[in-house]
């Protein structure tokens, strides 16, 4: 029987292990996880009637892999959509929350009137953004990639970058817009310039059919009734037949006819094939003695750290109407948080009646100093800003900080070329696959896709002898 070992029990590793078992229930599979629990950054806790998402809180349904997996796991009835009221978000300007204009999609407006009347931009800022209507296409630099900052400054001006693109996109990727690759994250905007010349014209043409929402297209975001932990628990149950080794850190791997996996517990595990579902810098460490070129390519993918802080309040302590799903904070506002979700407005069942759950983000590529603070000091600063921004009286009932160190890969300009080089080099090791958020998408559906395709590659490696899906 072929022995397969998956290293890393986050959503990518769980998806890989599950797909292996789905294809061949008799596979000899071991899943090794360094920490005491499966799920990686997916973690939901319950406290005093509140449902706390410590990592992600939702996934996008536009990418089908998470919904498809949920259905295969029998979880369809537990999927929940975002609240159909208040599908809007806010951006902070001069210390106040302003609504993202209807039809605005991350970088540019798809509707003229909400854009003209918004108070997020100054008159001069709007005039500069409108110049996009007349500006010529860029002369391509041959690399087919550009940083978010360079692109937005060029087409829409500095204010559009500082007040909209940085906080909206930074909120998703916790990234520095000066280095974030547009090709790897939002290629549709580069394509829009190529096809329509003007982003605004392109958005207007595409956006005519999409009205009634502002900011992110929230109807596309989903979770589960009891949070994302539902997915982790179902996957854990589905792979119960395989050997799961928690609290076991892999410290090295060696190649012989197959693989020898060394753990921190000073034992070794033999495998015919492995899937490395760990962050790229860990994969690099583990592969140093196997393939130095691959290890140094993996090391080129940099990471940022981010924290979430869940604040539980009585509803009447907060004066802001909380009539949206949350807000993002431009870096130029000089605040200690980068975004905040009104969790119980966004999804049902997140707080007891008469209460509110706020989920703030801090750190990211632009504010590493904040992430470096001890949890109590980080909490104090974020709470102070929330108090001002949402007009809160009094202290939260409780607050919980979750620090995710080096958790968010930074898709910097040239990222897709770096990933192509990694994949090219990896082709020389057919019984090794990589999965995770570092390569071709950092969202949950991307991670599931990467885990499942890593599993399928390993099954293909063994040939049709094992089974076919």
Ligand X SMILES: Cc1cc2nc3c(=O)[nH]c(=O)nc-3n(C[C@H](O)[C@H](O)[C@H](O)COP(=O)(O)OP(=O)(O)OC[C@H]3O[C@@H](n4cnc5c(N)ncnc54)[C@H](O)[C@@H]3O)c2cc1C
Query: In angstroms, rounded to a whole number, what is the distance separating the alpha carbons of residues 414 and 302?
Result: 12
Which residue, 56 or 215, is less far from ligand X as judged by CB? 56
CA angle 392, 398, 399 (to 5 degrees): 85
Which residue, 75 or 199, is less far from ligand X as judged by CB? 75
Query: In angstroms, rounded to a whole number, what is the distance separating the alpha carbons of residues 447 and 243?
Result: 22
Closest CB 153 distance from ligand X, rounded Å: 27
The only residue of 30, 44, 58, 410 in contact with ligand X, by rule CB under 6 A: 58
Closest CB 396 distance from ligand X, rounded Å: 19
Crossing angle of helices 148-156 and 187-196, rounded to 10°: 30
Here the tokens at position 231 are 């997915």
Residues of span 119-158 touching ligand X by CB under 6 A: none
Phi-psi region of 334 (alpha: psi -120 to 50; beta: other; left: phi over 0): left
Parallel, antiparallel, or unpaired for β 398-409 and 303-314? antiparallel
Closest CB 31 distance from ligand X, rounded Å: 9
* Contact flag: residue 33 with ligand X (CB under 6 A): yes
Query: In angstroms, rounded to a whole number, what is the distance separating the alpha carbons of residues 167 and 285?
Result: 33
Parallel, antiparallel, or unpaired for β 104-105 and 108-109? antiparallel
The only residue of 9, 109, 125, 364 in contact with ligand X, by rule CB under 6 A: 9
Residue whose entry in the numeric block shows the structure tokens 């975004």: 339
Query: In angstroms, rounded to a whole number, what is the distance separating the alpha carbons of residues 380 and 145?
Result: 40
Which residue, 201 or 251, is less far from ligand X as judged by CB? 251
Which residue, 319 or 405, is less far from ligand X as judged by CB? 405
- For every residue of 26-74, DSSP letters joined together read T-EEEEE-SSSSSBTT--EEEETTEEEESS---EESSSTHHHHHHHHTT
* Contact flag: residue 57 with ligand X (CB under 6 A): yes
* Contact flag: residue 11 with ligand X (CB under 6 A): yes
Which residue, 35 or 243, is less far from ligand X as judged by CB? 35
Only segment of 27-35, 94-102, 111-119, 153-161 that touches ligand X (CB under 6 A): 27-35
End-to-end CA distance of the chain: 18
Which residue, 313 or 404, is less far from ligand X as judged by CB? 404
The only residue of 250, 253, 287, 329 in contact with ligand X, by rule CB under 6 A: 250
Which residue, 311 or 404, is less far from ligand X as judged by CB? 404
Closest listed residue to residue 282, CA positions, set 32, 115, 16? 32
Only segment of 51-59, 149-157, 290-298, 419-427 that touches ligand X (CB under 6 A): 51-59
The only residue of 408, 422, 455, 466 in contact with ligand X, by rule CB under 6 A: 408
Closest CB 11 distance from ligand X, rounded Å: 5
Which residue, 52 or 108, is less far from ligand X as judged by CB? 52
Torsion (CA) 309, 315, 321, 324 in degrees, nearest 10: 50
Query: In angstroms, rounded to a whole number, what is the distance separating the alpha carbons of residues 462 and 273?
Result: 9
Q: How many residues bind ligand X (CB under 6 A)?
A: 36
The only residue of 40, 167, 171, 324 in contact with ligand X, by rule CB under 6 A: 40
Buried b / exposed e along 418-453 (16+ C-beta atoms within 10 A): bbeebeebbeebebbbbbbbbbbbbbbbbbbbbbbb
Residues of span 416-445 touching ligand X by CB under 6 A: 436-437, 442-444
Closest CB 50 distance from ligand X, rounded Å: 17
The only residue of 308, 310, 344, 356 in contact with ligand X, by rule CB under 6 A: 308
Residue whose entry in the numeric block shows the structure tokens 């006819």: 257
Which residue, 57 or 412, is less far from ligand X as judged by CB? 57
The only residue of 2, 4, 13, 152 in contact with ligand X, by rule CB under 6 A: 13
Which residue, 282 or 370, is less far from ligand X as judged by CB? 282
Which residue, 44 or 110, is less far from ligand X as judged by CB? 44
Query: In angstroms, rounded to a whole number, what is the distance separating the alpha carbons of residues 241 and 276?
Result: 20
* Contact flag: residue 306 with ligand X (CB under 6 A): yes
Binding-site string for ligand X from residue 252 to residue 291, where x marks contact by CB under 6 A and - marks none: -------------------------xxx--x---------
The only residue of 6, 29, 41, 229 in contact with ligand X, by rule CB under 6 A: 41
Cα 311 vs. chain centroid, distance in angstroms? 21
The only residue of 16, 31, 59, 214 in contact with ligand X, by rule CB under 6 A: 59
Which residue, 147 or 407, is less far from ligand X as judged by CB? 407
Closest listed residue to residue 12, CA positions, set 276, 251, 243, 198? 276
Cα 323 vs. chain centroid, distance in angstroms? 24
**Count of positions (residues) in the chain:** 469
Sign of the CA dihedral 212, 217, 218, 220?
Answer: positive
| Chain contacts with ligand X (rule: CB under 6 A) | 7-13, 32-35, 40-42, 55-59, 249-250, 277-279, 282, 306, 308, 404, 407-408, 436-437, 442-444, 447
């Amino acid at each position: 029987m072929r022995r397969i070992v998956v290293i890393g029990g986050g959503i990518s590793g769980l998806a890989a292990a599950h797909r292996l078992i789905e294809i061949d229930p008799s596979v000899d599979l071991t899943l090794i996880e360094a920490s005491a629990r499966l799920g990686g950054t997916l973690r939901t806790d319950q406290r005093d009637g509140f449902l706390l998402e410590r990592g992600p809180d939702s996934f996008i349904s536009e990418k089908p892999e998470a919904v498809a997996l949920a259905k295969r796991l029998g979880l369809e009835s537990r999927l929940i959509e975002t609240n159909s009221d208040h599908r809007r978000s806010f951006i902070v300007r001069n210390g106040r929350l302003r609504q993202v204009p209807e039809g605005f999609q991350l970088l540019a407006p798809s509707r003229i009137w909400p854009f003209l009347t918004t108070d997020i931009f100054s008159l001069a800022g709007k005039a500069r953004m409108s110049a996009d209507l007349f500006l010529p296409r860029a002369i391509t630099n041959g690399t087919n990639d550009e940083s978010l900052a360079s692109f937005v400054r060029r087409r829409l001006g500095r204010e559009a970058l500082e007040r909209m693109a940085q906080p909206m996109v930074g909120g998703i990727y916790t990234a520095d817009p000066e280095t974030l690759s547009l090709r790897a994250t939002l290629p549709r905007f580069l394509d829009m310039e190529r096809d329509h010349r003007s982003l605004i014209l392109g958005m207007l043409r595409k956006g005519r059919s999409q009205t009634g929402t502002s900011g992110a297209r929230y109807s596309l975001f989903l979770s589960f009734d009891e949070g994302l932990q539902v997915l982790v628990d179902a996957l854990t149950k589905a792979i119960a037949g395989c050997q799961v080794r928690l609290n076991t850190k892999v410290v090295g791997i060696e190649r012989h006819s197959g693989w020898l996996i060394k753990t921190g517990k000073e034992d070794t595990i033999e495998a015919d094939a492995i899937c490395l579902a760990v962050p790229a810098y860990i994969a690099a460490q583990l592969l140093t003695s196997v393939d130095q070129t691959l290890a140094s390519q993996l090391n080129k993918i940099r990471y940022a750290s981010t924290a979430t802080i869940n604040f539980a309040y009585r509803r009447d302590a907060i004066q802001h109407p909380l009539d949206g799903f949350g807000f993002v904070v431009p870096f130029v506002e000089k605040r200690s948080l980068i975004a905040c979700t009104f969790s119980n407005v966004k999804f049902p069942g997140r707080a007891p009646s008469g209460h509110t759950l706020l989920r703030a983000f801090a750190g990211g590529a632009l504010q590493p100093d904040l992430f470096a603070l001890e949890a109590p000091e980080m909490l104090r600063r974020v709470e102070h800003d929330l108090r001002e921004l949402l007009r809160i009286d009094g202290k939260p009932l409780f607050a919980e900080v979750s620090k995710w160190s080096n958790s968010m890969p930074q898709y910097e300009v040239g990222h897709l070329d770096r990933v192509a080089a990694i994949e090219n080099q990896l082709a020389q090791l057919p019984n090794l696959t990589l999965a995770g958020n570092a390569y071709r998408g950092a969202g949950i559906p991307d991670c599931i896709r990467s885990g499942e395709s890593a599993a399928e590659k390993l099954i293909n490696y063994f040939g049709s002898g094992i089974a076919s899906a």
